Structure 1
Amino acid sequence: MVKLLAGLTAGTMICLLPSRGLLPGTQLCSVPRQRLHKLASVQNVRMLGPKKVQSLLYPFSQVEPYLDRSVDRSQFQHFHPSVEDMTKAETLFLSSPSHKIDYRISAERLDHVPVLKPPEVCFIGRSNVGKSSLIRALFSLTPEVEVRVSKTPGHTKKMNFFQVGRAFTIVDMPGYGHRSPKDFVDMVEPYLFIRENLVRTFLLVDGSVGLQQADLIAMEMCEEIRRPYVMVLTKIDKPGNGTLLRNLMSLQDTVRRNTTSCYPQPLLISSLNFCGIYLLRCFIAHVTGSISLTDTSLS
């Protein structure tokens, strides 16, 4: 597995200062402080038309009409919380004096990371899969958290930890694929194997191109580690419904045939129009034990 992953690489990174996890001379584009995005909150989404609300909160509804009647829909609706639960979950992503959301630390090795008590979730994926954009969207309710993104893919060299009050920590891992760190495996595998408070890994796949060979290798790594992980299909706003549906069904078939530790439902995300962000926030709050949900499945 180490040999297989040696050629995988880092994607775009999130950091708060130019020196965090970037090579000397790397150009950064700063995202200036701004008002809340109009779709950052569930409350604002609920003011839209019923079809728009449904597609943003439950993105599978966009492609469901195109599925053959014989396809089992339940595999895509294991996690189907109520709108009220999603509203409750998003309060955890609002920073306050008693619940501060901020960058905590960057590290090249697990032994460089302090022991953090809150449960952790981490995000991994290929370069340019949209990992930094996704995390930025998750934190869109807290614009005071400054996000900086490298213009050149492959310059993220560290694990970046973002603490969400005392509830949980979100970890932005170095990516794999083009221009990955040479020590990617030495950095990432120990964290995934032995980090005691890691409760879920989110493996991102580009929804516009579907599973790539590097993604299959990453899935194999997650299976060898035997810790729970979730597939996330990003950029679902880019392809047409036909392409998205083919990529989704291919991914779902691979999960069903070849995995034992993967959550059976892939999550669909568009960081551009916030589709699925509310569901992902709720899922994170749920798996970290931060909130109690009234129901998690579609009855």
Structure 2
Amino acid sequence: MFNTMLRMKTLHLLQAHMSCCSVVRQNVHQLASIKHVCLLSERRRQGLLYPFSALKEHLTPQVDQAEFKIFHPSLNDLCRAETLFTPSHKNHIEYSTSAVRMDHVPVLKQPEVCFMGRSNVGKSSLIRALFSLAPDVDVRVSKTPGHTKKLNFFTVGKAFALVDMPGYGHRAPQDFVEMVEPYLQERQNLVRTFLLVDSGAGLQRADLVAVEMLEEFSLPYVLVVTKTDRTGQGALLTLMVQLQDFIKKQTSTCFPQPFLVSSVQFSGIHLLRCFIVHVTGNLRPTAEQT
């Protein structure tokens, strides 16, 4: 009787753990590849590949549209970048390891990018979307905000590494500062930090603290606006103009163009892939871009 009760309790705890944080072997999104996006109408294709194009028609003449298209690669550039996010016998894409302290961080030679943001900003879902062409890559997507407690490392062949950082804010790890600050300060191969901002909330106080830290360390970073499918075009446009003004007036190491993404609709994912491949030194856009 006791053994039966113990087994039932153990099964219950296991099921609870699995529902809290599942290791997702995701199905390939139907729009994960550009060849499928190109089958769409011109308007929808442009909206997915270059999300700002759906908003620009609502801009007033006083706003310089060029500021929102500083990085605007060609379709061919997007296709070239996609090849690095596609696994092959020469390009292994995989989860590498996790670390809770700097002495656990792996020694990697590839240039590295990291993703950080408030808990529940959609960080793990975005990384899962970026790696959607490699469905065997295990990306942990928590159903509970603040569940990510470690630095999770993914490697894309010899091209670059990507790091999923713990979320800050609600239910953030108590040792977040002890884990993240040393990594940001000491990681020699870190070439860009992607700071995620919820499109429905905008820059919050915790985000401003993260911006202050990145500015203090003189680290190059990028603002990525997530969950755009949940926000109307008017609110999105207002947020983009506000972020553009914030970057121009209050930052010195932030890339001047915010990126719009939706992991659900897959908009902006191809553009962000291309930017990652670009900043890690694996692609020089053919168009006149930075």
Same topology, TM > 0.5? yes
Residue identity in the other structure for 2:221: Y
Structure 1 residues 186, 83: closer, same or farther in 2, change over 3 A? same
Deviations 1:187-236 (A, max 9, x none): 00111112000000000000122111111111111110101100001111
**What's the RMSD between the two structures over aligned residues?**
1.5
User: Structure 2: how far apart are the matches of 1:131 and 1:193?
Assistant: 21
The amino acid across from 1:171 in the alignment is V
Q: Tell me how far apart the structure 2 counterparts of residues 150 and 296 of structure 1 sit (CA, whole Å).
A: 39
1:115 corresponding residue in structure 2: 107
Alignment partner, residue 31 of structure 1: 24
Q: State the alpha-carbon separation in 1 of the partners of residues 140 and 101 from structure 2.
A: 22
Equivalent position amino acid for 1:95 in 2? P
Measured in 2, the distance between the counterparts of 1:121 and 1:28 equals 24
Aligned residue for 1:237, secondary structure, equals helix
CA drift of 1:28 comes to: 2.4
Matched, 1:134 2:126: yes
Which of 105-114 and 51-60 deviates more?
105-114
Tell me if structure 1 keeps the 8 A contact 2:202–2:239: yes
The partner residue of 1:266 within 258, 261, 273 is 258
Partner of 2:85: 93
CA shift, 1:50, in A, is 0.3
Say which SS state the counterpart of residue 96 (structure 2) adopts: strand
Residue pair 2:32, 2:132 contacting (<8 A) in 1 also: yes
**How many Å apart are 1:292 and its aligned residue?**
2.8
Larger radius of gyration: 2
1:68-87 aligned at under 5 Å gives the runs 68-87=60-79
Structure 2 residue matching 1:248: 3-state secondary structure: helix
Give the whole-Å Cα distance in 1 for the aligned partners of 2:179 and 2:95. Answer: 19
CA distances 1:245-294 after superposition (whole Å, capped 9, x unpaired): 11111111111110000000001111111100000000000000112321
Unaligned runs of 5+ in 1: 1-23
Match of 2:13 in 1: none
After superposing on structure 2, the runs of 4+ consecutive aligned residues of structure 1 that deviate more than 3 Å are: none
Correspondence for 1:210: 202
Quote the Cα distance in structure 1 between the aligned partners of 2:73 and 2:151. 31
Listed as ranges, the gaps of 5+ residues in structure 2 are: 1-15
Q: Which amino acid aligns with 2:108?
A: L
Alpha-carbon distance, 1:118 to partner: 0.3
CA distance in 2, matches of 1:133, 1:151: 11
State the match for 2:164 in structure 1: 172
Amino acid at match of 1:178: H
| Offset, 1:30 | 4.0
What does residue 276 of structure 1 align with?
268
Which of 47, 51, 55 lines up with 1:55 in the alignment?
47
Alignment partners' CA distance in 1, 2:81 and 2:129: 15
Cα 1:32/1:191, change in 2 over 3 Å: closer
Superimposed CA distance per residue, residues 162-181 of structure 1 (whole angstroms, 9 cap, x where no aligned partner): 00011000000011110111
SS at match of 2:154: strand
Partner SS, residue 230 of structure 2: coil
Please tell me whether the aligned partners of residues 159 and 282 of structure 2 are also in contact (alpha carbons under 8 angstroms).
yes
**Are positions 1:247 and 2:228 aligned together?**
no
Aligned residues: 274
What secondary structure sits across from 2:229 in the alignment? coil
User: Is 1:233 equivalent to 2:230 in the alignment?
Assistant: no
More helix per residue: 2
Which fold has the larger relative contact order, with Cα–Cα distance below 8 Å and residues 6 or more apart in sequence? 1
Residues in 1 aligned to 2:185 and 2:82: alpha-carbon distance in whole angstroms: 29
In the TM superposition, what is the alpha-carbon distance from 1:146 to its structure 2 partner?
2.7
Q: Which residue of 1 aligns with 2:280?
A: 288
CA distance in structure 1 between the aligned counterparts of 2:288 and 2:173, rounded to whole angstroms: 38
Change (3 A) 1:197 1:45: same
For 1:296 and 1:186, how far apart are their aligned partners in 2? Answer: 41
% same residue: 59
